[in-house]
Amino acid sequence: MEFWKLFFVALMPVLKVLLITALGTILAINRFDILGETARKNLNTMVYFVFSPTLVYSSLAETITLRSVVMLWFMPINILLTFVIGSVLGLLVVKLTRVPHHLQGLVLGCCAAGNLGNLPIIIVPAVCKQSGNPFGDVNVCYKNALAYASLSMALGSIYIWSYAYNLVRLYAPKICNEAKIAENSMVNPMSITKTDPENPSTCSRGLPFLSVVGDKSQSQDHVKNFEIQCTNCDDGKTEEAQRGEMIMKQLKTLVKKINLKILFTPSTIGAIVGLIIGVVPQFRKLLIGDKAPLHVVEDSIVMVGYACIPVMTLLVGANLIKGLNGVGKQLPLIVGITVIRCIVLPGIGVGIVKGVVRLGFIHNDPLYQFILLLQFALPPAVSLSTITQLFGAGEGECSVIMFATYSCAAVSVTLWCTFYMWLVLYAINMALPGKHYDAPPHDDIKKCYDGWSDESDEDKRKEAFTTFINENVNLSKADESMMITGIVAPPVAMVVKKTGQTVPQLSVIKAIPDVAFVPGATILALIAIKLTKRMAFKNIPSIDPKENTL
């Protein structure tokens, strides 16, 4: 399939999302006020507790089996990598833009947490439904896409509410004040000791993890009783036993502090139930399929889940209305987050996924590779708006960031989807060792198969197949433009970096080390040359098999 055909296949789903999002924005403005504050909260509650869990459950239960769970093992690691790399890049943004302390958690969260639920579950199945989609049969592609996107939604929910939630919490003003109090209490370690009320023979050594801050009278009482308590705690117990007890107390306190209700969201619970039903054959026979005794229950859940996608898309547009009036106030911050989410992370994702595929760690399913790549190219998670509302830290700034990043994502997601589809289906990484071949288009392969299957004579079948391979599958080679670009790009990148340091508007370039800037610029230049040749010429220069004498 040619580049522009892939572009229009990728454009249609994003265009649908934009149209529905625009409708949500229109319905939220004051003139109509159909999706006002109260309506948005009610709809958001319905999506959170009803629509999203049912969609995740039904998608996983119908398509996931024990074999597919084993094959999809890399997706949790891939999502974790997006969070870790995004956090590291977010620290760079915080340093360069001098973000206020109470907003640092929001910036790190926006750089780390992508929209792993709403957008993949809208875009990927929609790509499969396009005429001439490059991923094969429409029905099979659609079911697999829903399963992959649902698993992405469930995993993303776990990471967001366990990782991004705590990032925002740590930098929230309330938590910061508590931290200052704890720091002041460390001046007098006696004031933070705590005894076990159930067992007075034990005492604390003043560990800050379990400490509580008391008033002066409590501190004096602790000082008076310190020697007596410590004498009692040493009777009949070794120092190792005391340390063991302290560690166990710390672990118990940590478990109590973990909010499992936040970690196990309704979508996560739906994913767990869907995985159990899909993996266990007895449950699967009972619920899944037209002949299943309880298939009416499954059909009802599927009907409810279908409402999730349009409602979520309308809510995205309605929530963006808050950020329409404040884009100019946080321009450096917005530019930094947008560059990371729309340019840097997607490029890093290409190297990670293609490297893992090359090493043979994941199976060669183009649709699966496509969604792994897409997880790096998504705008920030909408759940961050809810998290900032919980802690009252940067609600207005979050709305502005969401509006700006989603506006840019309309273009960036389309372009990256086009590039990713071309990459997983036709692209050859010339930098990796080994021989590479240009694969023929899907239509040519289908035409060859139809002619081959109609032929009854075995010898003629072999001849038809051999002829097709010799004429259409050619050994790739790097042309002179790629070689010249690889030689010229590094010194040009150095010159650009040195020149940019003298321009005030580009002063942020100073913070990027040469060891990262030069290779990154070279890779982007090689990709640009490759894409330009793909768009300008139908065929990549290849070695003629008849002239190849090696």
- Find the mean pLDDT for residues 312-318: 79
How many CA atoms within 13 Å lie on the side-chain side of 146?
24
Residue with tokens 């982007």: 524
Are the CB atoms for 388 and 95 separated by under 8 Å?
no
**What percentage of the chain exceeds 90 in pLDDT?**
2
> Rounded to two decimals, what is the model's pTM?
0.61
How many residues are there in the chain?
Answer: 550
Q: Give the tokens for residue 375.
A: 């997880």
Are the CB atoms for 305 and 62 separated by under 8 Å?
no
- As a whole number of angstroms, the distance between CA 540 and CA 447 comes to 22
Return the pLDDT at 530. 66
Cα 264–chain centre separation: 18
Contacts of 309 (CB under 8 A, 6+ apart): 55, 121, 122
pLDDT at residue 482 greater than cutoff 80: no
Is pLDDT larger for residue 120 or for residue 550?
120
Query: Which H helix or E strand runs over 115?
Result: none
Helices (H), 392-479: 395-425, 442-454, 458-472
Counting Cβ atoms within 10 Å, is residue 496 exposed (0-12), middle (13-18) or buried (19+)?
A: middle
Tell me the three state secondary structure of residue 252.
Answer: helix
- Spatial strand order of the sheet with 474-476 comes to 437-438, 474-476, 542-543
Residue with tokens 């100019």: 328
pLDDT at residue 474 greater than cutoff 80: no
Question: What does the pLDDT look like over 326-340, one tens digit per residue?
Answer: 555 567 888 888 888
- Find the mean pLDDT for residues 210-216: 40
Return the pLDDT at 477. 53
Is pLDDT larger for residue 92 or for residue 390?
92
Question: What does the pLDDT look like over 351-376, one tens digit per residue?
Answer: 888 888 887 788 778 888 899 999 99
Which residue from 386, 304, 352, 361 is spatially nearest to 115, judged by alpha carbons? 386
Is pLDDT larger for residue 421 or for residue 399?
421
pLDDT at residue 227 greater than cutoff 60: no
Architecture (CATH level 2) of domain 47-176+261-425? Up-down Bundle (1.20)
Return the pLDDT at 253. 65
Tell me the three state secondary structure of residue 387.
Answer: helix
- As a whole number of angstroms, the distance between CA 81 and CA 71 comes to 18
- As a whole number of angstroms, the distance between CA 50 and CA 86 comes to 30
Which residue from 214, 158, 166, 172 is spatially nearest to 189, judged by alpha carbons? 214
Q: Give the tokens for residue 362.
A: 């994941």
For 476, phi then psi, to 5°, come to -80, 155
- Find the mean pLDDT for residues 465-480: 67
Domains of the chain, residue spans: 47-176+261-425, 181-259, 439-473, 476-550
- As a whole number of angstroms, the distance between CA 398 and CA 379 comes to 13
- As a whole number of angstroms, the distance between CA 361 and CA 438 comes to 23
Tell me the three state secondary structure of residue 197.
Answer: coil
Is pLDDT larger for residue 350 or for residue 170?
350
Residue with tokens 């035409």: 447
- As a whole number of angstroms, the distance between CA 127 and CA 9 comes to 6
Return the pLDDT at 230. 47
- As a whole number of angstroms, the distance between CA 118 and CA 318 comes to 14
Distance set, CA 107 to CA 1, 102, 338, 343, 344 (Å): 39, 10, 11, 16, 16
